[in-house]
Amino acid sequence: MAAQLLDGKGIAKQIQMEIKAEVSEFMEKSGVTPCLAAILVGEDPASQVYVRNKERACERVGIASRLHRLPADTNEAELLALIDQLNTDSAVNGILVQLPLPSHIAETNILDSVHPLKDVDAFHPENVGLVVQGRPRFLPCTPHGVVQILHRCGIEISGRHAVVVGRSEIVGKPLANMLVQRTSNLGVSAANATVTVCHSRTVNLPKITREADILIAAIGHPRFITVDMIKPGAVVIDVGINRTDDGLVGDVDFEAALEVASAITPVPGGVGPLTIAMLLWNTIAAARMQSV
């Protein structure tokens, strides 16, 4: 029996409808239009598509958006000056610096410079620390999207073994922290999972992934997770988006995994749309905090 497809696109639409209602209520009470400012440095095609999708999503829910396009040869000081300007602009509630940045710019310096109350990606160390402690101001967008998929599809997390393949600062580490939390926060139920984090140096990786009740692939290699790495009946969440000659594919060998998993996210149409939805979620949350 083929796996259930977890419709991230449909869930994202549902969340955006909820956010649209929240934005409307907030604007009626405060007279303020929430605003997200995005910064795009260079001409990376994937980043341009992503930023364009974010602009359209903002428009759908009633959030104002600004896009600052900078040439690829922009230096670090110039970028920091723009962020400082946005930090002090009371009309801007959220600041998004589109990654990756050109190699001559120190990514950490840039992300650390975004004001924590406007850090809607939840990359600032202050916000990362709050997530680890289980009292987040914002939840990082892609991990939050994964948890929303599990939550809204009625997939039990508590007590189950979740294996996260990938240890990035954007997905793997924060998602592992969120899955192990014992308290509920920001409208997400407590997870209470038993979590294992794997990566490229993990010894006997297939043995560990075959123990997963919930297997999350976020390693950035096309079709890295093969069918022999999946326990029959496991829930498979594919965070990867890889551009190949065959088009967009995930980190999981999807067609083969369909025959083994109980449920799986497709690529595209799985986790990706949730990332943008949760960015909007954080933006309205930021607007509320700043209006107090």
Known catalytic residues are 54, 98, 121
Q: Strands, E, within the chain: which ranges?
A: 4-5, 35-41, 64-70, 94-97, 161-165, 194-198, 214-217, 235-238, 242-244, 247-249, 263-264
The helix/strand/coil state of 215 is strand
Enumerate residues 6+ apart whose C-beta is below 8 A from 150: 157, 214, 235, 237
Cis before 232? omega within 30: no
Q: For 105, left (φ over 0), alpha (ψ -120 to 50), or beta? A: beta
Question: In angstroms, what is the C-alpha Rg of the chain?
Answer: 19
Q: Are 150 and 157 in contact (CB under 8 A)?
A: yes
Q: Which amino acid is at 104?
A: H
CA distances in angstroms from 48 to 39, 92, 232, 273, listed in the order given:
11, 21, 38, 16
Torsion sign across C-alpha atoms 168, 169, 171, 172: positive
Angle at which helix 8-30 crosses helix 271-291, to 10 degrees, equals 10
Q: Are 242 and 249 in contact (CB under 8 A)?
A: yes
Q: Are 58 and 36 in contact (CB under 8 A)?
A: yes
Q: Are 155 and 277 in contact (CB under 8 A)?
A: no
